[in-house]
Structure 1
């Protein structure tokens, strides 16, 4: 039997020790195209990656659909939040159109097809939790995007274009 004196005392607030050891205070990511370049995503879109959190399989990015176009049908496995920055966009499956300042909240399991018929295109900030499954036009599964897909998308583009990887994006 252990003596009372042998029991390790926990700090008054044990979470503080874990925070001090593992957490980052946050990150600052400059919005310029050097720190966060626009990475092509298909023929008419690009992604500006802002943050990768491998602990929670979450990413933050800005999606730009140029001059109108669409992103394939996809299903979310986690919650997604978005705020429209420029232009307008929607999902073929819903009757609303998001415009600058509009907020969109998507639940896990929802499937939809993003489009923009705005001649100037659209830009929206997305916070994506969990994987996103993409399907082709026939409804057949195509590929999965998760935090590791987004990391590879960004780091491969940087490598191929002689850009430094911004390590502040990894939290």
Structure 2
């Protein structure tokens, strides 16, 4: 059996790759983009309850996809929620766990969630945690008695971002809409 090797990468230069549909891509694609997540240049931290905030990174209304960084600033909880879509998150700072599981996510750890599962997100880390996430579909939030409280989806997160920006005189960043 042959050993797998990486594709060649011997030159740091742009290569003109042939592609039959380049004209369509140039005309219709929103294109790649860079969003600065380290500063507030592209997106501010928007409050999400008393101890958390969200830095919105991308909104895709066609697929009900949204990306953000959730920052829980100190030990705390993001209430019980039920996922109706797939969630992919990476722990950036601190640590976090779900009461429903026996693992603790630490920096660099990957968290995968599937539709139909409910979770209660907790950080006991003295400095809280930051989680980068790509989320798809609605998320239903419930109170401590399992009463439905709110559904969040791409439209909720767009409203969360835009309302905060308008109230604080911050320009809406079109790069966030893919």
Q: In the alignment, is residue 134 of structure 1 matched against residue 138 of structure 2?
A: no
CA distance in 2, matches of 1:19, 1:144: 35
Partner of 1:98, secondary structure, is coil
CA drift of 1:22 comes to 2.6
Highest CA radius of gyration, 1 or 2? 1
Give the CA deviation at 1:17. Answer: 5.9
Matched, 1:26 2:32: yes
Query: Is this contact kept in 2: 1:131–1:145, CA < 8 A?
Result: yes
How high is the TM-score relative to the length of structure 2? 0.85
Whole-Å separation in 2 of the counterparts to 1:19 and 1:148: 26
Verify: 1:51 aligned to 2:22, yes or no. no
Residues 39 and 46 in structure 1, CA contact (< 8 A), matched pair in contact too: yes
Q: Which residue of 2 is the match for residue 7 of structure 1?
A: none
Matched with 1:8 is none
Q: For 2:120 and 2:26, how far apart are their aligned partners in 1?
A: 42
Q: Which runs of 4+ in 1 moved over 2 A?
A: 15-22
SS in 1 for 2:175: helix
Q: What is the distance in 2 between the residues matched to 1:40 and 1:24?
A: 29
Alignment deviations for residues 86-131 of structure 1 (CA, whole Å, 9 cap, x no partner)? 0000101110000001001101111010010101100010100111
Q: Distance in 2 between matches of 1:74 and 1:17?
A: 43
Where does structure 2 lack aligned partners over 5 or more consecutive residues? 1-18
* 1:38 matched residue in structure 2: 45
- Map 1:90-129 onto structure 2 (within 5 A): 90-129=97-136
Q: Which residue of 2 aligns with 1:6?
A: none
